[in-house]
Structure 1
Amino acid sequence: MSETIQGVAAGVPYVLVPPISGDPAAPVVLAWHLMDSPRTAAAFAAALPLAGLDAWRIYFQLPMSGSRLPEGGMDELMRLGYEDAVMNLQGPITDQAVAEAPAALAAVKAAHGIGDGPVGLLGGSQGSAVAGQLLLDPAMKAVSAVLVSPIVQLRAAVAATGRQYGVEYPWSAESDAVADRMDLVARVGEIPASAEVLTVVGAQDEPEFAESAAAFTAALGDRARTDIVAGLGHALADEPGLEPAPQWPATAEVDRLAVAWFARTLR
């Protein structure tokens, strides 16, 4: 992987990988990691380095993860999830990451002399929910996105996770509103006409992820594609997923697909 730079921009920790060419006007890919492994910006950059892509790659740390964990660490995170995964974690993490992205991006660009090249979005699981919401924002001017282990319909993701943990989530008016806001299939008409989206699903992931990705691709039409990767579940790296780790063969295939997509669409 190219030389990496770590810093904090507008309060958000990040990992920056410069383009191969060093061109300030090269495309910019903004990336957000999973809450599963890899669960930090540095670990996600190692899992999906976008090897060979001539672009600025900025991996942002999600709220409530890594150095931003709540007091009590992972134990407290798990407690909050069992108490109310949507209202305590998925909704607030997405909302905060989306709200802080413009200022963090502006600060990184100013600090490193990055120009106004075309913008792509990359996210894994919870990070894909952030990327998806930013795709809806015309101010972000994103022309391409790659959503891996994608949360494009929160209800589907919650059903899959609940089955894994043996619980059934008690939906309320408040959490229904969060799910409506995070439903990219229902909001597909808000995605800018210039944007193209790849969803990547592990063949061994829970079926809801492939089903919702297929529904999203069908709704978006010829500007979208879903790829299924053999040998991959939901996570993209070995546990504990806090530090950079060797790339799995299946994750290397995800990286190849993402690079090919961005190389074609980030014009």
Structure 2
Amino acid sequence: MPNTAHHITGHAAGVPFVAFPPATAERSSAPVIVAWHMMDAPRTEAAFAAAMPLEGLDAWRIYLGLPMSGSRLPDGGFEEIMRLGFEDAVLNLQGPIVDQAAQEFSPVMAELRDRLGLSDGPLGVLGGSLGAAVALVVLAESSAKIDAAVLVSPLVQLRPAVEAMARQFGITYPWSPESSEVAERLDFVARAGDVVRPHQPAVLLVVGEDDDADAFAKPASALREALDGHGDVPGRTDLVTIAGMGHALAEEPGMEPAEQTPHAREVDRHAVEWLRRHLIGA
């Protein structure tokens, strides 16, 4: 985890979190970054904090646990997650997890603002893979004014990601009207206008050179172009490709905090630079 004097763990509105206070800034006025982990490694809030500590960023860093992950795994653990995925990955996993996590954002923030004395100032979001889809839903649908976002190995369009996963397991996903509706909601290239209005955030997309290009790199590039096309302020979107990086940011099993990998360290550096520039102005 980040090398800070202390951190705070607990539950807010029923959601597990780990929070790191700013190192020197006044806590009541420091920027706030809210992060959601991956379903791949690192797959818990504590493990994601270790992989993406945002160390050196003088801000509150709050990592939230996703539904059906970590301490909220269903009975049966990973075996049950795999069973649900093979039964219907979209309607059993991706759709409900993103929907519930996005709905949890406002009550979690309301409780944490009261408990931790968070400011109403600059706010950023950070997400990895499915956690990035949560961040994008919050950007597109929440009333909160979010100033900056960092999206790592992001799930930008659900349909190509699901089809890539199906190819990996040698199956064909049977799209239904219900799952197609979820895919439409989680197509942020088509929803770029929702992401940038009424508040145009500064969005950094980070992808791995060795990740599945059709599922992640190409949609991320398309999102960058779409955000640039819908935004009023130029230079608020960027895309970085990390040489030699795949999809995950940590070694398996990714449940507990672990030593930061070289790729995660590089991603973290880009994230800190982006968030410092757009939240702190330094």
| TM-score, normalisation: structure 2 | 0.92
SS at match of 2:143: helix
Tell me the alpha carbon deviations over residues 20-57 of structure 1, each in whole angstroms, 9 at most, x when there is no partner.
12422111100000000000000000000001001101
In the TM superposition, residue 266 of structure 1 has moved relative to its aligned partner by: 1.3
Counterpart in the other structure of 1:8: 11
Aligned counterparts of 1:69 and 1:86: Cα–Cα separation in 2: 17
Single out whichever of 31-40 and 112-121 deviates more from structure 2. 112-121
1:198 partner letter? L
Aligned counterparts of 1:31 and 1:84: Cα–Cα separation in 2: 26
Counterpart in the other structure of 1:176: 180
- Unpaired runs of 5+ residues, structure 1, are none
In the TM superposition, residue 18 of structure 1 has moved relative to its aligned partner by: 0.6
Aligned counterparts of 2:278 and 2:173: Cα–Cα separation in 1: 38
Tell me the alpha carbon deviations over residues 202-238 of structure 1, each in whole angstroms, 9 at most, x when there is no partner.
1110012100000000111142111100121011101
1:233 partner letter? G
Counterpart in the other structure of 1:66: 70
Tell me the alpha carbon deviations over residues 79-112 of structure 1, each in whole angstroms, 9 at most, x when there is no partner.
0001000000000000000011111111112111
SS at match of 1:226: strand
Counterpart in the other structure of 1:243: 256
Aligned counterparts of 2:105 and 2:192: Cα–Cα separation in 1: 21
In the TM superposition, residue 138 of structure 1 has moved relative to its aligned partner by: 4.7
2:212 partner letter? E
Aligned counterparts of 1:162 and 1:145: Cα–Cα separation in 2: 29
RMSD: 1.0
Counterpart in the other structure of 2:205: 199
Matches for 1:87-98 after TM superposition, within 5 Å: 87-98=91-102
Counterpart in the other structure of 2:273: 260
Counting aligned pairs with the same residue, the percent is: 56
SS at match of 1:266: helix
The count of corresponding residues between Structure 1 and Structure 2 is 267
Aligned counterparts of 2:260 and 2:240: Cα–Cα separation in 1: 19
Asked whether 1:76 is paired with 2:55, we answer no
Aligned counterparts of 1:117 and 1:57: Cα–Cα separation in 2: 14
Tell me the alpha carbon deviations over residues 147-184 of structure 1, each in whole angstroms, 9 at most, x when there is no partner.
10101111121122122222221111110100100111
Counterpart in the other structure of 1:26: 30
2:166 partner letter? G
